[in-house]
């Protein structure tokens, strides 16, 4: 094969992986296997009341932080039993003695499988990242992607300051508004259809061209095994973290208001009420991303 033909087949291997990924992510209700994310927001302090005068700010309860944990992404690695190399299973090449020789599994890994994994875990999403995942802020997938679920894997909320008023005291403590919701999508592939199929040595020592179905089947089995179970450092892994690996899609941001609380009062007859409501400007607390790597 020429260098260009090797690249064609490497890209085809990426497509084959995308058609049947062996490292999969799913959206679950809770207890996902990937790291959890915390959404934090302010809530009002408890109401203070007096029969004689308004409770002053020093005696009223401060706004508190509400934390909601999202652990909605689980990873599963398939157990794969690929075809065993018999010595003539794989395509042939011309060796240093100018003879035809069947590639062994180590050759296949070096030439096709490991380069395909490098493409699949790239930080730049494309047709060669088929079968891998990304995060967006829309339930509508972009072209060449599909939704894993319309359930958000993380939701950033903040206190809805417009929902609190003096007239409403005692206000409900936690009155959030949604800022951004994040969703999991998977990249679909493109069949690159290499121009030429490789040849192999038959059981009668003849040279024969692979049918596309046969060679695709072999590569599918072995790229699935490599991605899921490689012991050579080419297993695909995902994390939800602040660093490490390549970021996939939009980073997930937790924001919270930074105010110390707005002291408000309400008199109803001889009932003097005071409450501290959330206030301030939005600040970023954490920025976390879905990340892909090899291990």
Structure tokens at 141: 């997938």
Neighbour count for residue 2 (Cβ, 10 Å): 8
The residue among 169, 155, 203 whose CA lies nearest residue 37 is: 155
pLDDT in tens, 198-246: 999 998 889 999 999 999 999 999 999 999 999 999 999 999 999 999 9
- The pLDDT value recorded for residue 203 is 86
Provide the pLDDT confidence category of residue 106 given band limits of 50, 70 and 90: very high
Which residues lie closer than 8 Å to 269 by C-beta, 6 or more apart? none
Tell me what pLDDT residue 193 has.
84
Predicted local distance difference test score (pLDDT) of residue 99: 87
Kindly list the domain boundaries of the chain, sorted by start residue. Answer: 3-294
Reduced to 3 states (helix: H, G, I; strand: E, B; else coil), residue 250 is strand
pLDDT at 98: 86
CB neighbours of residue 112 within 10 Å: 24
pTM of the model: 0.94
Crossing angle of helices 212-229 and 3-19, in 10° steps, is: 70
Contact yes or no for 226/118 (Cβ under 8 A)? no
Q: How far apart are CA 172 and CA 168, in angstroms?
A: 9
**CB-CB contact of 271 with 172 (8 Å):** no
- Mean pLDDT, range 251-272, rounded to an integer: 98
Query: Mean pLDDT throughout 13-18?
Result: 98
Quote the percentage of the chain above a pLDDT of 70.
100
């Amino acid at each position: 094969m020429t260098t260009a033909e090797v690249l064609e087949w490497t890209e085809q291997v990426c497509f084959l992986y995308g058609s049947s990924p062996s490292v999969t992510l799913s959206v679950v209700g809770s207890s996902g296997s990937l790291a959890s994310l915390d959404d934090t927001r302010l809530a009002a302090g408890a109401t203070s009341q007096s029969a004689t005068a308004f409770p002053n700010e020093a005696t009223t309860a401060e706004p508190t932080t509400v934390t909601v944990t999202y652990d909605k992404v689980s990873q599963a690695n398939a157990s794969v039993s690929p075809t065993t190399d018999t010595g003539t299973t794989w395509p042939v090449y011309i060796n240093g003695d100018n003879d035809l020789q069947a590639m062994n599994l180590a050759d296949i890994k070096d030439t096709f499988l490991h380069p395909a994994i490098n493409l699949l875990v790239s930080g730049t999403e494309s047709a060669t990242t088929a079968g891998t995942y990304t995060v967006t802020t829309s339930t509508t997938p972009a072209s060449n992607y599909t939704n894993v679920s319309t359930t958000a894997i993380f939701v950033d909320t903040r206190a809805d300051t417009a929902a609190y008023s003096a007239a409403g005291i005692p206000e409900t403590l936690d009155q959030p508004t949604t800022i951004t919701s994040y969703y999991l999508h998977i990249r679909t592939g493109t069949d690159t259809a290499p121009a030429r199929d490789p040849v192999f040595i038959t059981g009668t020592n003849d040279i024969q061209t692979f049918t596309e179905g046969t060679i695709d089947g072999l590569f599918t089995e072995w790229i699935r095994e490599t991605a899921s179970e490689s012991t050579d450092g080419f297993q695909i892994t995902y994390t939800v973290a602040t660093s490490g690996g390549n970021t996939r899609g939009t980073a997930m941001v937790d924001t919270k208001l930074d105010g110390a609380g707005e002291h408000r009062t309400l008199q109803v007859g001889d009932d003097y009420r005071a409450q501290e409501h959330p206030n301030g400007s939005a600040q970023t607390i954490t920025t976390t991303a879905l990340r892909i790597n090899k291990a």
